[in-house]
Amino acid sequence: MNTVTSLKDTKFFARQERVALRNCGIINPELIDEYIARDGYQALGKALKTMSAQEVIDTVKDSGLRGRGGGGFSTGMKWQFAKNSENDVKYVCCNADEGDPGAFMDRSILEGDPHALIEAMTIAGYAIGANQGYIYVRAEYPIAIRRLEIAIKQACEYGLLGKNIFDSGFDFELELRLGSGAFVCGEETALMTSIEGNRGEPRPRPPFPAVKGLFEKPTILNNVETYANIPTIILKGADWFASKGTQGSKGTKVFCVVGNINNTGLVEVPMGTTLREVVEEIGGGIPNGKKFKAAQTGGPSGGCIPASLIDTKIDYDNLTAIGAMMGSGGLIVMDEDTCMVDIAKFFLDFTVDESCGKCTSCRIGTKRLLQMLDDITLGKSSLEDLDKMEELCHYIKDNSLCALGQTAPNPVLSTLKYFREEYEAHVVEKRCPAGICKDLVTFEIVEEKCIGCTACVRVCPVFAIDGKVKSPHTISQEKCIKCGACFEKCKFDAIIKK
Amino acid sequence: MKSLKTLEELSALKAEALKSSNLGEDTTTTRVVVGMATCGISAGATPVYEAMVEQVSKKAPDIMVSKTGCIGICCMEPIVEVHEPGKEKVTYVFMTPEKVEKIVDQHLLKNQVVEEYTIGAKE
């Protein structure tokens, strides 16, 4: 026990810097007055009263803010394209359809600081010349939806949404659209198709949304976290924001640190923080004294970062260079007991379920890829199959219309790149080094170590262990279902996993 | 409620809100927050919040109790933080309705931090 009594003084918090999460965990998200007390809507006032639309866009451009949903495209440039598109009707959309397994950055912002999003979208509307905004939020976030509804109602009451905001002649309305949990709707064109009331399927680009987006009108679509940065950028200026982070990636990034890590949670650090700092200091290391093996960023679209690259400075360009990607901010930490083939299989299983089915390469390709991974974990593959699998990965990437298909093979490619020897152990030696793939694992009793306590006999659910008290036991391999219960139970390390 | 039309009106509202919410630096009243995002609620923050509201309204009605979003360290939810004027906040983790009473009686009423429930005791 140490004498720290405040979260602020913990290692978990020391390296963090909160910009997008500035109000999360501080204000009551259901009271607009508390947001206003923390400089809320000052940026909107400043933009509408003292800045031209172009000045707002220039500030966002100069800040170097890049899309926090994963793509990393310059937010200011996106706004500029939409502003330059001539049309009497334009739209501002927010992508709150967070679907990566283990990611909850956007949910936390929506639940903790919904007004930040409303303020930022109104500023965006003013900048590009739009009077209508849509927040596309998944129906699985009921608390976020409720707090957004409350926030929109309160903003309307104060005249911060609606007609003639701040007496500037600018009108802006905001509506929610609920997504029904299809992962593909996080893709921008599928999201807009879904808002239009159609089945959520992506469409070809160009035309890009900034030219022809929602209802065929110029549209900008940004992620929740991207928007959450906007009010502070407008208020404190582009230089302030650009002073944080690295050369190509400015500001801070929110991560959800999950998996085999002591401190699971929501973390915001300046770009350029190393993975080691996030895992070992903020995350408090790996539980049970295990070793760090890899971290997966970008969820099912991303790749893994192996332990050898733990000192990588996290930013868009570095992560892309090593075959992973920034993604929306999910950071899944894996310890030495993780099988990388099994992890690739887990993510592929997810994309197979979530592929919308429009492109053959994605619909059938991911299915075949999953079967190939399955065969590897069953010990039915050869080295040749690994090459075929790699070829299929590239085929899927090259032939899919949207990012879902284009990135679906990433977990396979990056684990193949950094953990090829693990795939080879499965294929050649028919062995799973981490002891996860059941069909390649056997449990055996070491005669010399077994004292005959019968603990394993009693715990075995299928009566596969024979043996008398005080004489060594044996496991019947025919009966064994490889549940590992005996392995966990044995206090004398007499049971080994091969 | 009237519409805000000028920056001056917004600033006036901010000043008022700082006072009513106890969020200002010159505040004189204690503010207690309970992390009530999905992570907190799923770990049992609702009964903690209800117990806090009940206890405080009974024993120390001047103190403000508020819900808030995700405080960050989700693995230690439910979390309660006590912000006292002029002091570093105190973070209580793994809260239960039973622990609330002790925090109200010892910390809020007698100004003694219940160290065994703080984040330092669990880190």
Q: Is there a contact between A26 and B33 if contact means CB atoms under 8 Å apart? A: yes
Are B21 and A266 a contacting pair at CB < 8 A?
Answer: no
Closest C-alpha among A193, A179, A103 to residue A140: A179
B57 to chain A, closest Cα gap in Å:
18
Touching A: B residues 9-48, CB under 8 Å: 10, 13-14, 16-18, 20-21, 23-24, 33, 35, 37-39, 41
pLDDT, tens digit, for every residue of A209-222? 999 999 999 999 99
Q: A140 falls in which pLDDT band (50, 70, 90)? A: very high
Q: Please, are residues B79 and B91 in contact by the beta-carbon 8 Å criterion?
A: yes
B7, B23, B69 ranked by CB distance to A25: nearest: B69
Tokens for A286? 């790996």
Give me the mean pLDDT over the B99-122 stretch.
Answer: 92
A169 and A209 belong to one structural domain: yes
Q: What is the pLDDT of residues A348-366, one digit of tens each?
A: 999 999 999 999 999 999 9
Q: What confidence score (pLDDT) does residue B71 get? A: 93
The answer to whether residues A404 and A283 belong to one domain is no
Query: Is the sign of the CA dihedral A204, A206, A207, A211 positive or negative?
Result: positive
Query: For residue B1, what pLDDT is reported?
Result: 63
Q: Hey, is the C-beta of B102 within 8 angstroms of any chain A C-beta?
A: no
* Residues 6 or more apart in contact with residue A493 via CB below 8 angstroms: A446, A449
- For chain B, the structural domain boundaries read 25-122
The rounded distance, in Å, linking the Cα atoms of A21 and A116 is 10
| Spatial separation of the C-alpha atoms in residues B21 and A26, rounded to whole Å | 11
| Joined tokens for residue A211 | 């030219």
Verify whether the Cβ–Cβ distance A113 to B67 is below 8 Å. Answer: no
> What pLDDT score was predicted for residue B82?
96
What integer pLDDT is reported at residue B123 of this predicted model?
65
**Model confidence over A273-332: pLDDT tens digits?**
999 999 999 999 999 999 999 999 988 999 999 999 999 999 999 999 998 888 889 999
Please tell me the distance from the alpha carbon of residue B58 to that of residue A290, in angstroms, as a whole number: 48
The answer to whether position A1 is within a domain reads: no
Average pLDDT of span A119-143: 96
Q: How confident is the model at residue A102 (pLDDT cuts 50, 70, 90)?
A: confident
CA atoms of B85 and A32, how far apart (whole Å): 22
* Pair (A29, A154) in one structural domain: yes
Give which of A13, A36, A257 to mutate to test B binding, by max B Cβ within 10 Å: A36
Domain co-membership, A280 together with A132: no
Q: Which residues of B touch A49 (CB under 8 A)?
A: 6-7
CB contact under 8 A, A37 and B18: yes
Mutation target to probe the B interface, by most B beta carbons within 10 A, among A28, A38, A49, A286 is A28
Put simply, the answer to whether B123 touches A4 (Cβ < 8 Å) is: yes
- For residue A104, which residues of chain B lie inside 8 Å, CB to CB? 38-39
Tokens of A490: 């044995």
Q: For residue B112, what is the nearest residue in chain A, using CA coordinates?
A: A5
Question: Is residue A64 located within the same domain as residue A190?
Answer: yes
Quote the pLDDT of residue A2: 59
Mean per-residue pLDDT, A48-68? 96
Q: Are A147 and A186 in contact (CB under 8 A)?
A: no
What is the complex's ipTM, to 2 decimals? 0.95
Q: What share of chain B is helix, strand, coil (3-state, %, to 5)?
A: 50, 15, 35
CATH classification at residue A139: 3.40.50.11540
A111:B68 CB<8 A: no
**Is A2 inside any structural domain?**
no
Q: How far apart are the CA of B59 and the nearest CA of chain A, in angstroms?
A: 22
Q: In angstroms, how far is CA A87 from the centroid of its own chain?
A: 34
Q: Label residues A110-132 b or e (16+ Cβ within 10 Å = b).
A: bbbbbbbbbbbbbbbbbbbbbbb
Chain Cα centroid distance, residue A449: 45
Minimal C-alpha gap between A375 and chain B (Å)? 36
Question: Contacts of residue A171 in chain B, CB cutoff 8 Å?
Answer: none
Query: Does a structural domain hold residue A433?
Result: no
Q: How far is CA B118 from CA A350, A491, B91, B92, B112, in A?
A: 39, 35, 6, 4, 12
Q: Do A166 and B5 touch (CB under 8 A)?
A: yes
Same structural domain, A223 and A317:
no
Please give the average per-residue pLDDT across A70-87, as a whole number: 94
Residues in chain B within 8 Å Cβ distance of A170: none
**A33: distance to nearest CA of chain B, Å?**
5
> What are A11-26's pLDDT values in tens digits?
899 899 999 999 999 9
**CB proximity B3 to A under 8 Å:** yes
Nearest-angstrom CA–CA distance, B65 and B59: 13
- Is the CB of B4 less than 8 angstroms away from the CB of A25? no
Could you tell me the residue range of the domain that residue A484 belongs to?
442-497
Min Cα separation A167/chain B (Å): 5
CA separation, residue A409 to residues A28, B63, B117 (Å): 42, 55, 46
DSSP letter assigned to residue B106: I
CATH code: domain of residue A453: 3.30.70.20
% of residues, chain A, pLDDT over 90: 86
Q: Is B72 on the interface with A (CB under 8 A)?
A: yes
CB contact under 8 A, B17 and A34: yes
**Per-residue model confidence as pLDDT tens digits over A439-498:** 888 899 998 999 989 999 999 999 999 888 888 899 999 999 988 899 999 999 999 887
The pLDDT of residue A126 is above 90: yes
DSSP letter (8 states) at residue B118: B
Q: How many CB atoms lie within 10 A of CB A345?
A: 22
CATH code of the domain in which A271 resides: 3.10.20.600
What are the Cα distances from residue B79, in Å, to B34, B36, B37?
6, 9, 11
Return the amino acid letter for A79. Answer: W
Q: Which residues partner with A76 through β-bridges? A: none
Tell me whether residues B7 and A265 touch, CB distance under 8 A: no
Interface contact B53, partner A, CB < 8 A = no
Domain count, chain A: 4
State whether A143 and B66 contact (CB < 8 Å).
Answer: no
Contact A108 B1 (CB under 8 A): no
Residues A96 and A231 in one domain: yes
**Residue A65 falls inside a structural domain:** yes
**Rounded mean pLDDT, A244-266:** 94
Report residue B30 as tokens.
Answer: 């204690």
Q: Do B120 and A2 touch (CB under 8 A)?
A: yes
Q: Which of A303, A335, A367 finishes a domain? A: A335
Tell me the count of A-B CB pairs closer than 8 A: 169
Residues A162 and A261 in one domain: no
Bridge partners (DSSP) listed for residue A176: A135
Q: Average pLDDT, stretch B7-35?
A: 92
Most B CBs within 10 A among A3, A4, A5, hence the mutation to make, goes to A5
Residue B59 contacts A where some CB pair is shorter than 8 Å: no
Give which of A166, A193, A222, A150 is closest to A48, Cα–Cα.
A166
Contact residues, chain B, for A141 at CB < 8 Å: 38
Residue A288 in any domain: the answer is: yes
* pLDDT score of B105 more than 90: yes
Residue A359 maps to which CATH number?
A: 1.20.1440.230
Asked if residue A96 is part of any domain, the answer here is yes
Look at residue A253 and tell me whether its pLDDT is greater than 90: yes
CA dihedral of A233, A237, A243, A247, whole degrees rounded to 10: 70
Please indicate, yes or no, if residue A293 is contained in any of the structural domains.
yes
Q: Give A199's pLDDT tier (boundaries 50, 70, 90).
A: very high
Kindly state whether residues A231 and A312 are assigned to the same domain.
Answer: no
- Angstrom distances, CA of residue A310 to CA of A136, A190, A338, A487, B34: 35, 35, 17, 32, 35
**What mean pLDDT comes out for the span A386-391?**
96
Strand order in the sheet with B80-83: B64-68, B31-35, B80-83, B90-92
Residues A356 and A324 in one domain: no
Name chain B contacts of A23, Cβ cutoff 8 Å.
69
Are A25 and A170 within one domain?
Answer: yes
Q: Name the minimum distance, in Å, from the CA of A34 to any CA of chain B.
A: 6
Cα–Cα distance list, B90 to B55, B116, B120 (Å) = 18, 12, 10
User: Which residues of chain A have a CB within 8 Å of the CB of B3?
Assistant: 158-159
Residue B114 has pLDDT above 90, yes or no: yes
The percentage of residues in chain B with a pLDDT greater than 70, rounded to a whole number, is 98
Question: What's domain B25-122's superfamily in CATH?
Answer: Glutaredoxin (3.40.30.10)
Tell whether A436 is covered by a domain.
Answer: no
Picking from A394, A427, A460, the residue at the C-terminal end of a domain is: A427
Which of A335, A363, A394 lies at the terminal end of a domain, its last residue? A335
State the pLDDT at residue A497.
85
Average pLDDT of chain A to the nearest whole number: 94
What is the maximum span of chain B, computed from C-alpha positions, in angstroms? 50
Q: How far is CA A5 from CA A16, A35, A99, A424, B89, in A?
A: 18, 26, 35, 49, 8
Cβ atoms of A133 and A125 within 8 Å: the answer is yes
CA A102, A106, A109, A110 torsion-angle sign: negative
Chain A contact set for B1 (CB, 8 A): 157-158
Question: What are the E-state strand segments in chain B?
Answer: 31-35, 64-68, 80-83, 90-92
